[in-house]
């Protein structure tokens, strides 16, 4: 089978590896606009569920990824001036560049052709292929070309965020919140190597403007953020990829869904097909799980159209839960002022439960009382029923709004 794939991110590279592992005769060519070894972002988190999938599909890649990963333990919420609250848990972090490097080497070893510095801006650039995979991220060129056919919907998030890093190694997954004269600002941080941590800063657009982050250059913005988060940074700097006189790359998260994932012989993979808010740390895992499903489906079905249809229905179903949880998690962070007056343990409990629809529907202190009472079996049953009823109502509302 001949495959042309746009994008050598985690989705495109892992898909190419699996296609070669399923059948060494498959011809896979990847087109990547960036030079080899460059990428956006810093470290990403993942958990044992991805490790299990990687081990089942390519133990060599799984081992290489685990060898380069950092294991963080515990989750911490620290509100400036308060006592940090701890919530347990463990997971992994890996540098995005290291992950791509592992995947790139493995793909090359298996005979995948990767054309770096080759941006696809017109379909005629692509060779004849049985399948064309759009693994070119949230701004996917091929998807935009057929937006109507894919039934693309993009809803921008309200908050501003910027993906930064720091040499302060956060051994625990840490959320740090700071009240300012312009409103709350907070970070999500976790170690991804022995020397670096991801440091994502988020705030409302009002706070962003109120603090001048919309106009300050990168250097001054970084120094301002360092002073706001000085308690947690312990004297370490915050760093950005770009040059210091430009502005920091603040964005609004794009919530993306597609009613259809294939059109003709073009199929969407990873962020080109769907996004999930970064606060649930799942986009890379979901992109790699898409790759597994598409490789399996193409391997098992002789007919390409049948393979693409089977892949689409399997993955659309699998995405329902993470997309719902991601929307709720993003909304929780958009409503931080509602929760920020809680004490450490209360705030932590509601942060942990942010994927439940009940959190936003009950007064925060009442929700906390319910959270504590969930130890009682009857309360647990009532809680689940109420959450399910709210879920159904909201599903109905979405269907009415977007028939
Ligand atoms: C702030 C932030 C934090 C995140 N943290 C996590 C986390 O902790 N854990 C996690 O699992 N996920 C996380 N994610 C999500 C994760 O980064 C994405 O879901 C993941 O990168 C998707 O992989 P992909 O291969 O589909 O797309 P991408 O990684 O975006 O790769 C697409 C590739 O296509 C290339 N490309 C684009 N257009 C063209 C073109 N026209 N021609 C040629 N090449 C092209 C791009 O250069 C890129 O290399 C985070 C996202 C954000 C924004």
DSSP letter string over 20-52? Answer: HHH-TT-EEEEE-SSPTT--SS-EEEE-HHHHH
Query: Ligand 1 pocket check: which of 287, 290, 294, 329 to mutate, most ligand atoms within 8 Å of Cβ?
Result: 287
CB 292 within 8 A of CB 246: no
Spell out the residues 6+ positions from residue 266 whose beta carbon is closer than 8 angstroms to its own.
132, 133, 134, 142, 146
Minimal-distance CA residue to ligand 1 atom 53: 278
- C-alpha of residue 387 to centroid of ligand 1, in Å: 32
**Sorting pLDDT into bands at 50, 70 and 90, what band is 402?**
low
Atom of ligand 1 nearest to the CA of 93: 8
What is the average pLDDT value for the chain, to the nearest integer?
94
Give the pLDDT mean for 386-397.
78
Burial (CB count <10 Å: 0-12, 13-18, 19+), residue 202: buried
Q: Which carries the bigger pLDDT value, residue 150 or residue 372?
A: 150
**Sorting pLDDT into bands at 50, 70 and 90, what band is 345?**
confident
Minimal-distance CA residue to ligand 1 atom 21: 284
Rounded to whole angstroms, the Cα distance separating 259 from 270 reads 15
The confidence score (pLDDT) of residue 149 equals 97
pTM: 0.94
CA dihedral sign of residues 9, 269, 26, 52: positive
Minimal-distance CA residue to ligand 1 atom 50: 278
CA dihedral sign of residues 169, 175, 178, 182: positive
User: DSSP readout, 112-156?
Assistant: -EEE-S----SGGGSPP-SEEEE---TT-HHHHHTHHHHTEEEEE
What sections of 139-282 are H helices per DSSP? 141-145, 147-150, 205-210, 218-228, 230-233
167-187 residues labelled b (16+ CB within 10 A) or e (exposed)? ebbbebbbbbbbbeebbbbbb
Give the pLDDT mean for 123-134.
96
Rounded to whole angstroms, the Cα distance separating 293 from 53 reads 11
- C-alpha of residue 219 to centroid of ligand 1, in Å: 25
The confidence score (pLDDT) of residue 316 equals 97
Atom of ligand 1 nearest to the CA of 31: 43
Query: Ligand 1 pocket check: which of 119, 136, 292 to mutate, most ligand atoms within 8 Å of Cβ?
Result: 136
Rounded to whole angstroms, the Cα distance separating 60 from 110 reads 12
- C-alpha of residue 137 to centroid of ligand 1, in Å: 5
Pocket of ligand 1 (CB under 6 A): 6-12, 31-34, 41, 44-46, 119-120, 135-137, 141, 163, 200, 270-271, 278, 281-285, 287
Atom of ligand 1 nearest to the CA of 269: 26
Atom of ligand 1 nearest to the CA of 34: 47
- Dump pLDDT digits (tens) for 8-43: 999 999 999 999 999 999 999 999 999 998 888 899
- Dump pLDDT digits (tens) for 256-287: 999 999 999 999 999 999 999 999 999 999 99
């Amino acid at each position: 089978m001949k495959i042309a794939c746009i994008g050598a991110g985690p989705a495109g590279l892992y898909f190419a590896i699996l296609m070669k592992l399923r059948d060494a005769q498959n011809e896979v060519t990847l087109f990547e606009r960036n030079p080899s070894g460059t990428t956006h972002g810093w470290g990403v988190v993942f958990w044992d569920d991805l490790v299990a999938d990687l081990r089942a599909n390519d133990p060599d890649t799984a081992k290489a990824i685990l060898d380069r990963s950092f294991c963080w333990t515990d989750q911490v919420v620290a509100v400036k001036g308060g006592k940090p609250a701890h919530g347990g848990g463990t997971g992994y972090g890996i540098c995005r560049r290291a992950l791509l490097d592992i995947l790139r080497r493995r793909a090359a070893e298996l005979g995948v052709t990767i054309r770096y510095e080759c941006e696809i801006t017109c379909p005629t650039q692509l060779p004849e292929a049985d399948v064309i995979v759009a693994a070119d991220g949230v701004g996917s060129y091929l998807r935009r070309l057929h937006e109507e056919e894919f039934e693309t919907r993009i809803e921008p998030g309200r908050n501003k965020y910027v993906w930064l890093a720091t040499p302060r190694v956060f051994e625990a997954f840490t959320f740090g919140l700071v009240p300012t004269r312009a409103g709350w600002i907070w970070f999500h941080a976790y170690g991804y190597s022995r020397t670096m941590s991801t440091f994502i800063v988020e705030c409302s657009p009002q706070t962003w403007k109120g603090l001048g982050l919309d106009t300050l250059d990168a250097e001054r913005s970084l120094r301002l953020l360092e002073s706001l988060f000085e308690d947690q940074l312990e004297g370490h700097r915050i760093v950005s990829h770009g040059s210091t006189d430009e502005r920091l790359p603040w964005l609004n998260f794009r919530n993306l869904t597609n009613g259809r994932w294939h059109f003709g012989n073009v199929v969407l993979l990873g962020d080109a097909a769907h996004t999930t808010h970064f606060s649930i740390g799942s986009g890379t895992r979901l992109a790699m799980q898409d790759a597994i499903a598409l490789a399996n489906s193409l391997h098992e079905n002789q007919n390409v159209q049948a393979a693409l249809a089977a892949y689409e229905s399997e993955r659309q179903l699998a995405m329902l839960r993470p997309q719902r949880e991601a929307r709720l998690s993003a909304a929780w962070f958009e409503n931080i002022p509602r929760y920020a007056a809680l004490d450490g343990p209360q705030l932590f409990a509601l942060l942990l439960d942010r994927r439940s629809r009940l959190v936003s529907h009950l007064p925060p202190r009442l929700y906390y009382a319910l959270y504590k009472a969930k130890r009682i079996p009857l309360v647990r049953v009532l809680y689940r029923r109420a959450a399910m009823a709210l879920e159904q109502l909201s599903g109905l509302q979405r269907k009415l709004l977007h028939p």
